């Protein structure tokens, strides 16, 4: 008998091994095997269309970034000066038997006006280029094993439709989701924590079940909270749940003792696992991230997270990833966040549109607060062909979809319904603010709603008059901050944009204390800018509406009723190349340039926003003999800084209470400039910059020497042009040529110069102010990638990057390696 049951068990086990259990929910990445055609081809929607000559590619894909810069491109320099137009994507695929299954396709973002067909049947159209959406493929699928054809037409031809670079194409991830006919609905959970203390948390889980089976059989819903290690820590079961014909909402309340709280310093993440059972059979399994935290905005006390007062030290970020364009890449986004975190930044405003979902996952994991923003315009346009055309028909759906998709992210702490909306100035602003805020509140009452305003006079601001914005956010005009509490009594304030200073990495205009206002007002054209389209990194250039960094930050520091700031902007981005005309094609506002090299202002914030000792010395030390040069130091965790030139002291400087840097006015002599910061007489840090000689050699520094062989992972390789002694040559402009061997490719090159018209997809780049960048991407093959860099007259350099099945690179280590590559040799 025993032997028999053993046999039976063996048989069952073997059977199970031979026929893998069908997961109740299958989520399959659907990025590979697409064909692309740049142009319009109306027949391409038909399944039988011959796309043999189309280009094979893997998503995410942005065709604009592959194009040539041209002033005549319809997106204009404001849109990045790259081509747009119409493009088609097709993918042929077969599925195993999907009887009684639902098959959906999910797009995270297609810019823009996408139309999707399956086997010639139109599934839908989605104008908004930043919104995520899905279609039900089930009714149009061919029988198992027969090929299906998806066709996607992307129309980004109506231009200009944006004030910044958008990219074109299926630029975010696509996946197939296969479920049973009873399953958690799309974005079908909403997890909140109405009561949180150190001792206990109440977790409310609302689950929407979609039933397309026509069944009335009751189900069981098991909801389990898993800790960061994956161990179950609390659960709730709802038995005999009756289903309706469409959707059924189930509410469960779970209490958890001694919760680990999510914060920006310790972003502890739980997961909520939902299982739907029909009898003993699991018909669906679904996971939702959970961060347990409580946020409070108080008119008197300001913002607190888990009871601890904090200020928002944030930056604005557009969605492009520099040389990679809009094509989303997790590692590229993570690198940006690592650099920002090392600067002390704790919050990101997703200006001015919902981001890639993986960017929110990163913010959950890394500990950033996120302002998720819906729109840059409502029904009044900023550009002739922009979203105002789609607003009437689509805004409600788009706004709802943003909230539904993102409301489980602990990082998302505030919703923004718009940026500098034109309706602010007439009564339609009041009506629409009420309507849009109500739309958000119907889906989420746990987060405040705001909108980035500009008008600080209550009687002229028709959006604040709506009386429904939980937080009044203002862009610029920091001079007005002290008046805000009087003008808007009882309100909570936030600076959604500050600074907007212009800077080109490694470029310095003297004297440092004269501020260039470019242009000086809204009527005057800029005529006195630099002929080479540069702006000074001394923090002494700005537009008339903005500010240099220091006064803007001082205003936030001093006005405690401002709950914080989002600097415009964290990184340079493509498009909006103010203050310059063509050939300028990317922005000057970043604290970090487009290639990811920090500008000097990075260290200003690092000295103010972190506790780590900072000493940053600028500018470079290659000037004309006799020239008077201003030497600056940003420092922290020290009482004073002494500067020495060729060993001779030029004096000790101490910041006075309102100062953010110290300065020496120095008659230039070549040699060695040294700064020493001291605390209580003891040296804290020393920085040295030497006059560089002739460019002699190339140095390569990879942010990660080991990456994953998944066809996505990246190593960012910084190229520095050095003299024979190893000093950065601060004006080196050598044309660097890259040669890659092994299982990798060059995903992009850049040098951060805002007026460069060299293509990003290339194997060569001119150094700019001594530096450039090559982005190395893995393939799915493991092995050693070798990158060699050569330039005429310079000793070449080469490095190796391991591409393996696991990434050996530690996250924080890689960030250090990147940020260490500053503009001056230290
Ligand atoms: C703001 C706007 C931003 C950007 C910025 C530049 O008015 O909201 O999108 O254009 O100006 O300073």
CATH number of 621-690: 2.60.40.10
Determine which residue's CA is closest to atom 12 belonging to ligand 1: 500
What's the pLDDT tens digit per position in 335-393?
A: 999 999 999 999 999 999 999 999 999 999 999 999 999 999 999 999 999 999 999 99
What's the Cα-to-Cα distance from 143 to each of 91, 98, 146, 213, 655, rounded to whole Å? 17, 8, 6, 19, 74
Atom of ligand 1 nearest to the CA of 352: 9
Q: What is the mean pLDDT of residues 458-478?
A: 98
Indicate which atom in ligand 1 lies nearest the CA of residue 578: 6
For residues 9-27, average pLDDT = 60
166 confidence band (pLDDT: 50, 70, 90): very high
- CA dist 490 and 513 (Å) reads 38
CATH level 3 topology of 182-293 = Immunoglobulin-like (2.60.40)
The pLDDT tens digits for 585-624 are 999 999 999 999 999 999 999 999 999 999 999 999 999 9
Nearest residue by C-alpha to atom 4 in ligand 1: 568
Torsion of CA 441, 447, 452, 457, to 10 degrees: 80
pTM of the model: 0.95
Single out the residue of 502, 478, 495, 718 nearest to residue 590, CA to CA: 502
What is residue 16's three-state secondary structure? helix
For a ligand 1 pocket test, name from 420, 474, 566 the mutation site with the most ligand atoms within 8 angstroms of its C-beta.
Answer: 420
Residues with C-beta less than 6 Å from any ligand 1 atom: 163, 351, 419-420, 475, 497, 500, 546, 568, 576
Distance 539 CA to ligand 1 centre (A): 18
Backbone angles phi, psi at 643, to 5 degrees: -115, 135
Helical residues (DSSP H) of 81-127, grouped into ranges: none
Q: How far is the CA of 164 from the centre of ligand 1 (A)?
A: 10
Per residue in 494-534, pLDDT (tens digit) is 999 999 999 999 999 999 999 999 999 999 889 899 999 99
Instruction: Tell me, yes or no, if 106 is annotated catalytic.
Output: no
699 is catalytic: no
Pocket test of ligand 1: the residue of 164, 497, 552 to mutate, having most ligand atoms within 8 Å of its CB, is 497
Cα 376 to averaged position of ligand 1 atoms, centre (Å): 10
The strand pairing partners of 111, in sequence order, are 169
Mean pLDDT, the chain, rounded, equals 94
Label each residue of 166-177 as H, E or C.
Answer: CCCECCCCEEEE
Q: In angstroms, what is the span from residue 734 Cα to ligand 1's centroid?
A: 34
- What is the SS3 assignment for 515? coil
> Tell me: the pLDDT tens digits for 528-546?
999 999 999 999 999 999 9
Please give the distance, rounded to the nearest whole angstrom, from the Cα atom of residue 490 to the centre of ligand 1: 27
What's the gap in Å between 760 CA and the centre of ligand 1?
A: 25
329 — pLDDT class (breaks 50, 70, 90): very high
Question: Where are the domains positioned within the chain?
Answer: 14-179, 182-293, 311-501+534-572+589-602, 621-690, 697-809
Q: Which of 376, 475, 572 to mutate to test the pocket of ligand 1 (most atoms within 8 A of CB)?
A: 475
CATH class of the region 311-501+534-572+589-602: alpha beta
pLDDT band at 98 (very low <50, low <70, confident <90, very high): confident
For 433-446, what is the mean pLDDT?
98
Q: Which of 106, 115, 423, 497 is catalytic?
A: 497
Residue 671, token pair as written in the block = 């040699």
Please report how many Cα atoms fall inside a 13 Å half-sphere around the Cα of residue 217, on the Cβ side.
Answer: 14
Maximum Cα–Cα distance for the chain, whole Å?
102
In this structure, which CATH number among 3.10.100.10, 2.60.40.420, 3.90.550.10, 2.60.40.10 belongs to the domain 697-809? 2.60.40.10
CATH for the stretch 14-179: 2.60.120.260
Q: Do the beta carbons of residue 346 and residue 295 sit within 8 Å?
A: no
- Catalytic choice (420, 423, 503, 550): 420
Does 808 have pLDDT greater than 80? no
Give the distance (Å) from ligand 1 centre to CA of residue 406: 24
Residue 16 — pLDDT band, cuts 50, 70, 90? very low
Is 307 in contact with 238 (CB distance < 8 Å)?
Answer: no
Nearest in space to 518 (alpha carbons), one of 537, 494, 546, 496: 546
Which residue, chain included where needed, has tokens 């066809």?
711
Say whether 182-293 and 14-179 share the same fold.
Answer: no
């Amino acid at each position: 008998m025993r032997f028999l049951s053993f046999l039976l068990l063996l048989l069952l086990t073997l059977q199970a091994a031979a026929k893998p259990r069908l997961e109740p929910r299958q989520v399959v990445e659907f990025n590979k095997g697409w064909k692309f055609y740049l142009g319009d081809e109306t027949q391409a929607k038909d399944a039988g269309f011959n796309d043999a000559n189309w280009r094979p590619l893997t998503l995410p894909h942005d065709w604009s970034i592959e194009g040539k810069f041209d002033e005549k491109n319809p997106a204009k320099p404001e849109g990045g000066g790259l081509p747009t137009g119409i493009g088609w994507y097709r993918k042929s695929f077969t599925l195993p038997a999907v009887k009684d299954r639902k098959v959906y396709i999910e797009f995270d973002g297609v810019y823009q006006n996408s139309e999707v067909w399956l086997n010639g049947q139109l599934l839908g159209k989605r104008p908004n280029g930043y919104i995520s959406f899905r279609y039900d493929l089930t009714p149009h699928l061919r029988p198992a094993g027969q090929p299906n054809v998806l066709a996607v037409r992307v129309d980004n031809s109506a231009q200009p439709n944006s004030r910044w670079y958008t990219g074109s194409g299926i630029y975010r991830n696509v996946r197939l989701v296969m479920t049973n006919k009873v399953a958690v609905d799309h974005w079908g959970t909403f997890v909140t924590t109405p009561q949180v203390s150190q001792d206990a948390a109440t977790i409310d889980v609302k689950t929407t079940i979609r039933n397309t089976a026509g069944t009335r059989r009751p189900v069981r819903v098991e909801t389990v909270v898993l800790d960061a290690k994956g161990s179950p820590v609390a659960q709730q079961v709802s038995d005999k749940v009756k289903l309706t014909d469409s959707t059924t909402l189930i509410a469960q309340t779970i209490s958890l003792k001694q919760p680990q709280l999510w914060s920006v310093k310790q972003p502890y993440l739980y997961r909520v696992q939902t299982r739907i059972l029909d009898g003993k059979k699991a018909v669906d399994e679904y996971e939702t991230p959970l961060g347990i935290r409580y946020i409070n905005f108080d008119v008197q006390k300001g913002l607190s997270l888990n009871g601890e007062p904090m200020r928002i030290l944030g930056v604005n970020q557009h969605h492009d990833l520099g040389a990679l364009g809009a094509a989303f890449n997790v590692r590229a986004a993570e690198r940006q966040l690592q650099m920002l975190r090392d600067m002390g930044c704790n919050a990101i405003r997703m200006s001015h549109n919902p981001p890639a979902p993986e960017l929110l996952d990163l913010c959950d994991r890394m500990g950033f607060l996120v302002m998720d923003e819906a729109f840059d315009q409502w029904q009044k346009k900023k550009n002739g062909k922009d979203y105002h055309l789609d607003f009437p028909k689509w805004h409600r759906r788009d706004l709802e979809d943003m909230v539904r998709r993102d409301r489980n992210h602990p990082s998302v702490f505030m919703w923004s319904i718009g940026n500098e909306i034109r309706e602010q100035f007439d009564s339609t602003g009041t009506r629409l603010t009420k309507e849009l805020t109500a739309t958000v509140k119907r889906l989420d009452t746990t987060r405040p709603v705001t909108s980035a305003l500009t008008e600080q006079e209550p009687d002229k601001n028709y959006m604040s008059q709506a009386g429904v914005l939980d937080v009044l956010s203002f862009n610029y005009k920091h001079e007005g901050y002290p008046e805000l509490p009087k003008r808007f009594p009882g309100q909570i304030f936030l600076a959604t944009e500050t600074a907007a200073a212009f800077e080109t990495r490694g470029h310095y205009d003297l004297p440092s204390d004269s501020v260039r206002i470019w242009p000086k007002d809204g009527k005057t054209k800029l005529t006195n800018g630099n002929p080479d389209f540069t702006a000074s990194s001394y923090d002494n250039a700005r537009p008339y509406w903005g500010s240099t960094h220091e006064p803007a930050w001082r205003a936030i520091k001093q006005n405690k009723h401002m709950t914080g700031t989002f600097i415009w902007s964290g990184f340079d981005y493509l498009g909006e190349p103010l203050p310059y005309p063509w050939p300028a094609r990317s922005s000057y506002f970043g604290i970090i340039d487009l290639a990811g090299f920090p500008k000097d202002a990075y260290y200003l914030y690092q000295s103010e926003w972190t506790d780590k000792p900072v000493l940053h010395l600028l500018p470079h030390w290659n000037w004309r003999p006799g020239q008077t040069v201003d030497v600056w130091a940003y420092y922290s965790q020290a009482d004073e800084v002494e500067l020495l030139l060729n060993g001779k002291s030029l004096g000790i400087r101490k910041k006075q209470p309102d100062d953010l840097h110290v300065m020496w006015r120095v008659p230039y002599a070549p040699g060695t400039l040294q700064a020493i910061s001291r605390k209580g007489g003891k040296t804290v840090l020393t920085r040295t910059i030497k006059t560089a000689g002739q460019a002699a050699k190339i140095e390569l520094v990879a942010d990660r020497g080991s990456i994953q062989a998944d066809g996505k992972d990246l190593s960012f390789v910084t190229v520095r042009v050095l003299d024979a002694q190893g000093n950065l040559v601060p004006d080196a402009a050598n044309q660097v040529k890259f040669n890659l061997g092994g299982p990798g490719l060059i995903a992009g090159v850049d040098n951060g110069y805002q007026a460069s018209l060299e293509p990003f997809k290339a194997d060569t780049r001119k150094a700019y102010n001594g530096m450039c960048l090559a982005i190395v991407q893995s393939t799915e093959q493991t092995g050693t990638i070798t990158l060699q860099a050569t330039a005429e007259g310079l000793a070449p350099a080469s490095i190796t990057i391991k591409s393996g099945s696991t990434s050996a690179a530690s996250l924080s280590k890689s960030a250090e390696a990147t940020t260490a590559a500053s503009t001056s040799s230290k």
